[in-house]
Chain A
Amino acid sequence: MQTPLGRALNAGEKEFREIADYAPVMVWRSGDDRLCDWFNKPWLDFTGRGMEQEVGFGWAEGVHPADFDRCLAVYTEAFDARESFSMEYRLRRHDGEYRWLLDNGAPYFRDGQFAGFFGSCIDITAFKLAESAHQLLVNELNHRVKNTLAVVQSLARQSFRDIAASPAGEAFDSRLQALSKAHDLLTVRAWRDADLRDVAEQALRPLAGPARVGLQGPSLIIAPKTAVSLAMALHELGTNAVKYGALSNDDGRVELRWQIDGTAPSRRLRMLWQESGGPAVTPPQHSGFGMRMLERGLAAELSGLVRLHFEPKGLRCEIDTLLSHTAPTD
């Protein structure tokens, strides 16, 4: 009597095809000439066509016209490179409805020789619909948030008419806008997280290009709350530099560097904001809102340390935080 392992090793092509026919996935196979030479039962049940119609490139007749070129290009490129691929496309079901499939293909070999490709597909239409409904919801939420911020702006303007057109009024508007833009960034990734580099780019690039503001550091995925706090902090540092610091003259410069030190679970994010070439710095008499937001608000938010040094050659700000506090959370 054969052991299960022996039986498995001896199982012929016929038995594998039986298994394939009962698996809840659609399976196809192509030969070394790119032409498909076999489809399992779930595939044929899905398309409602016979094996003789699907073989060769017959299967491609069911691919949605909008996906056709891309689908064939991915398949052909992967085939010629003998590399596995993963792609999404729409395929016509037997009832005429196009459904989204996720198709994973990989080359297979016989006696060391390339023999063709195997692929398996699952119907991801429900997932796609849920995903787009989710994105729609997030976009709608972002729209509502921004409208609400504009309402707050209006209320502030009506309530404090005498300062609305003053520098304080403009500073208030620009803070609201920084908050709003941080929300944009989070919307892109459906409020899951954001990349620190994108946060820095978005907060500082409108102020100055790479010639005046250098950004240097690795990509780092951070949680939404952290992203908003950092965006607001960088906005304060940036506008301060424009008004009084290194960006207030023609040749000053800001360097923002960040690095990750140590290993999990005690990885730390260290950021350094260094201004140079601006007017000589004198420590302020009292700390304004921007400074308090940095030293107290941001420090609390990051459970870290934020230090401002008013050095004569330029303002320096050090941010040091445990990275576990900045990791994405659900």
Chain B
Amino acid sequence: MTQAPGPRVLIAEDEALIGMLLEDMLTSLGAQPLAPATTLAQALQLLDGAGFDVAILDLNLHGEASYPVAERLRERGIPFAFASGYGREALKADFADVPLLQKPYRLSALQALIGQLAANTAH
């Protein structure tokens, strides 16, 4: 079975080791992760570089919420999910419908999430 290349994934995660973990897990699932952005400014910069299909955003980037990135993604119709150690109740009300990936991660949950996000990308 030859597989089409998986979606290109933008990652925003301030903890380097956790970013590496996500990169690794995504690669093993056949997705194509970009090198993680570790600050809000970096993540916003990556948005302009284009070259990704879906995004996973840590909710808290060195004390700054990643909502500005989320707002831009929503404007552009790019599917994304939040990753967090906080529960769903920590999400801002306007983002209550965004999928939430719980830390620590499970490969099966990540696989389902990537499938869900990729299915929502514009064709």
Give the interface of A toward B (CB within 8 A): 139, 142-147, 149-155, 157-158, 164-165, 169-170, 173-174, 176-177, 180, 184, 187
Q: Does B116 contact A (CB under 8 A)?
A: no
How many A-B pairs have beta carbons closer than 8 Å: the answer is 69
- Assess whether B107 is in contact with A173, with CB atoms less than 8 Å apart: yes
B85 proximity list for chain A (CB < 8 A): 142-147, 150, 180
- Assess whether B108 is in contact with A151, with CB atoms less than 8 Å apart: no
Q: Can you report 13 A-B residue pairs in the complex whose CB atoms are below 8 A from each other?
A: A139-B90, A143-B60, A143-B85, A146-B102, A150-B18, A153-B105, A154-B17, A164-B24, A165-B28, A173-B104, A173-B107, A177-B104, A180-B103
Binary contact track B82-123/A, C-beta < 8 Å → 1, others 0: 001111001000000000001111111000000000000000
Secondary structure call for the A interface: helix
A164 proximity list for chain B (CB < 8 A): 24, 28
Contact of A170 among B87, B103, B107 (CB under 8 A): B107
CA distance A173 to B25 in the complex (A): 12
- Assess whether A150 is in contact with B107, with CB atoms less than 8 Å apart: no
- Assess whether A177 is in contact with B106, with CB atoms less than 8 Å apart: yes
- Assess whether A157 is in contact with B104, with CB atoms less than 8 Å apart: no
Closest chain-B Cβ to A137's Cβ sits at a distance in Å of: 14
Supposing A147-B85, A153-B21, A165-B28 touch, asked if A180 and B102 sit within 8 A by C-beta, the answer is yes
B interface residue count range (under 10 / 10 to 19 / 20 to 34 / 35 or more): 20 to 34
B34 proximity list for chain A (CB < 8 A): none
CA distance A187 to B15 in the complex (A): 23
Closest chain-B Cβ to A181's Cβ sits at a distance in Å of: 8
CA distance A154 to B15 in the complex (A): 11
Chain A: CB-nearest residue to B86: A143
Chain B: CB-nearest residue to A175: B104
CA distance A143 to B102 in the complex (A): 11
> Which of the listed residues B18, B21, B104 has the most CB atoms from chain A within 10 Å of its own CB?
B104
> Which of the listed residues A150, A152, A155, A169 has the most CB atoms from chain B within 10 Å of its own CB?
A150
CA distance A174 to B105 in the complex (A): 8
CA distance A154 to B17 in the complex (A): 6
Q: Does B61 contact A (CB under 8 A)?
A: no
A169 proximity list for chain B (CB < 8 A): 107
Q: Does B20 contact A (CB under 8 A)?
A: yes
- Assess whether B106 is in contact with A150, with CB atoms less than 8 Å apart: no
CA distance A164 to B29 in the complex (A): 12
